[in-house]
Amino acid sequence: MKAFMDKDFLLSSETSQKLFHEYAENMPIVDYHCHINPQEIAEDRKFENITQVWLGGDHYKWRQMRSNGVDEYYITGGASDREKFQKWAETLEKAIGNPLYHWSHLELQRYFGYTGHLCGETAEEVWNLCNAKLQEDGMSVRNLIRQSNVKLICTTDDPVDSLEWHKKLAEDDTFEVQVLPAWRPDKAMNLEKPEYADYMKTLSEVSGIEVKDFATMKEAILNRMDFFASMGCSVSDHALEYVMYAPATEEEVDAIFKKALAGESITREEEMKFKMAFMQFVARAYHKRNWVMQIHYGCKRDNNALMYAKLGPDTGFDCINNYAPSAQTADFLNSLIATDELPKTILYSLNPCDNEAIGTILGCFQGTEAAGKIQQGSAWWFNDHKTGMIAQMTSLANLGLLSNFVGMLTDSRSFLSYTRHEYFRRILCELIGGWVENGEYPADYKVLEQIVKGISYNNAVKYFGFDISE
């Protein structure tokens, strides 16, 4: 029997062990999509206790605590941090087979030196150990990033954001890690939301362009894009229900936009027509600027009406939406390539059933701007576990070129989540190592080194065009 999460955790063969320990393990990290707060990096925040690090805003953990029958008082309510930690520890011991079990223990091992297992009985020991460690200077936000070997971080930022913390970080020569904004214009696109007209007023104010129709809205968006570009942005991200294709004339789109601006209700058909027009417009702008377009889709959000009323969005009540017509995805990309205005694009679906559809769509739209110009993104959210990662990478290998894959991202709000890269790399090396051991690929370690280091780090740096000095 193997020891619990030892140095060869998830690595069952000599080949997979060699691939990980010699090639993948010590590669740097480029985190091209995450949700961490740049202010906390700028201010070099230190955390008082492990609950602040682990449970503040982490809806992954909140879902499992609810599944364990824990009262909301101990999750998002007024319980003490020690009480919340206890309830999480009692939940974690039941999470056999869940990636949270692996992630949590990797974090305890790498950042706190704890090699035991967290459960209800060991909660006090782990609480005291972690909290004592968190008081050390080496556990500040910047030092956590440094010891994780992170070279570059892309945060998630709204077009109306001032990017003041990014500016401060760019001017701070005491912190060597690049922290760049990433463009997330969902609020500018979601005209069905009741707060849309107010958002457009804000966009008018920050851009200096009065938004009164679709044309001036586009001017304002381009103005903000220019500002983001001046701050080092070259990456966008979009959250879509699905990638739609609903063509409409410029006049139709303008009329729909003006209805929303006036606070009038929008039909579902009108919503889709506007969103497609918006996505086509920004995609063409990305192509002109050589930005990467990331599209996350396939999520049905805020399903528990009772809890949404109490807690609001992003609190752990989302699920997979299985409505994602692949024909529309292809038609949308085709509408851009028809005029040679398709940017580098990464597609992420929350539904693992979409893996093969995405894999075949990629092959229709590749180009010479980058190896793997159109990418399938890493297994996302409900899929970033061993089974999901293996399924995504196997599908990609079956239908395309896994070797050009840009690899893992944290997609996290936690500064301890960089162990997810280690988790991913172990699974990657086990998968490739298994193919080599089974005689499906030669033991050509010169090529295998390039493949493993590429997927771990190098491909992303090259694909995004990041300027990272070694």
- 10-residue stretch averages of pLDDT, the chain, 470 residues long: 96 98 98 96 96 93 98 98 98 98 98 98 98 96 97 98 98 97 98 96 98 98 98 98 97 98 96 98 98 98 95 95 96 98 98 98 97 97 97 98 97 94 98 98 98 98 90
The neighbour count for residue 303, using CB atoms within 10 Å, is: 10
Query: Residue holding tokens 């979409």?
Result: 354
What is the CATH number for 121? 1.10.2020.10
CA distances from residue 231 to 12, 218, 224, 235 in whole angstroms, order as listed: 45, 20, 11, 12
Helices then strands, counting H and E runs in the chain, come out as: 21, 9
Q: Look at the chain and report how many structural domains it folds into.
A: 2
Q: Do 255 and 403 reside in the same domain of the chain?
A: yes
Model-level pTM greater than 0.85?
yes
Spatial distance between the Cα atoms of 156 and 402, rounded to a whole number of angstroms: 27
Of 158, 149, 138, 147, residue with least CA distance to 38: 158
Domain-embedded: residue 2: no
Tokens matching residue 370: 């980058």
Residues 6 or more apart whose CB falls under 8 angstroms from that of 105 comprise 5, 117, 118
Q: Do 120 and 260 reside in the same domain of the chain?
A: no
List, as one string, the DSSP characters of 391-426.
Answer: HHHHHHHHHS-GGG--------S-TTTTHHHHHHHH
What's the pLDDT tens digit per position in 33-58? 999 999 999 999 999 999 999 999 89
Q: Do 112 and 204 reside in the same domain of the chain?
A: no
What's the pLDDT tens digit per position in 388-418? 999 999 999 999 999 999 999 999 989 999 9
The neighbour count for residue 61, using CB atoms within 10 Å, is: 24
Domain-embedded: residue 23: no
Q: Do 326 and 292 reside in the same domain of the chain?
A: yes
Q: Do 293 and 390 reside in the same domain of the chain?
A: yes
Domain-embedded: residue 68: yes
Residue 469, pLDDT score: 73
Q: Do 127 and 274 reside in the same domain of the chain?
A: no
The neighbour count for residue 238, using CB atoms within 10 Å, is: 20
Residue 145, pLDDT score: 97
High-pLDDT (> 70) share of the chain, % = 100
Q: Give the SS3 label for residue 293.
A: strand
Of 275, 267, 273, residue with least CA distance to 295: 275
What's the pLDDT tens digit per position in 295-350? 999 999 999 999 999 999 999 999 999 999 999 999 999 999 999 999 999 999 99
Look up the domain containing 256 and give its range: 149-464
Spatial distance between the Cα atoms of 370 and 360, rounded to a whole number of angstroms: 18
What is the CATH number for 275? 3.20.20.140
Of 403, 399, 377, residue with least CA distance to 388: 377
In the sheet with 178-180, reading across from the earlier edge strand, the strands are 29-31, 150-154, 178-180
Residue 470, pLDDT score: 61
Name the region of 302 (left: φ>0; alpha: ψ -120 to 50; beta: rest): left
Select from 90, 117, 139 the last residue of a domain: 139
Q: Give the SS3 label for residue 179.
A: strand
| Segment holding 197, helix H or strand E | helix 196-207
Burial of residue 48, with CB atoms counted within 10 A of its CB: 0-12 exposed, 13-18 middle, 19 or more buried: exposed
Residues 6 or more apart whose CB falls under 8 angstroms from that of 64 comprise 91, 92, 95, 98, 100
Select from 90, 119, 139 the last residue of a domain: 139
Spatial distance between the Cα atoms of 199 and 441, rounded to a whole number of angstroms: 54
Select from 113, 139, 165 the last residue of a domain: 139
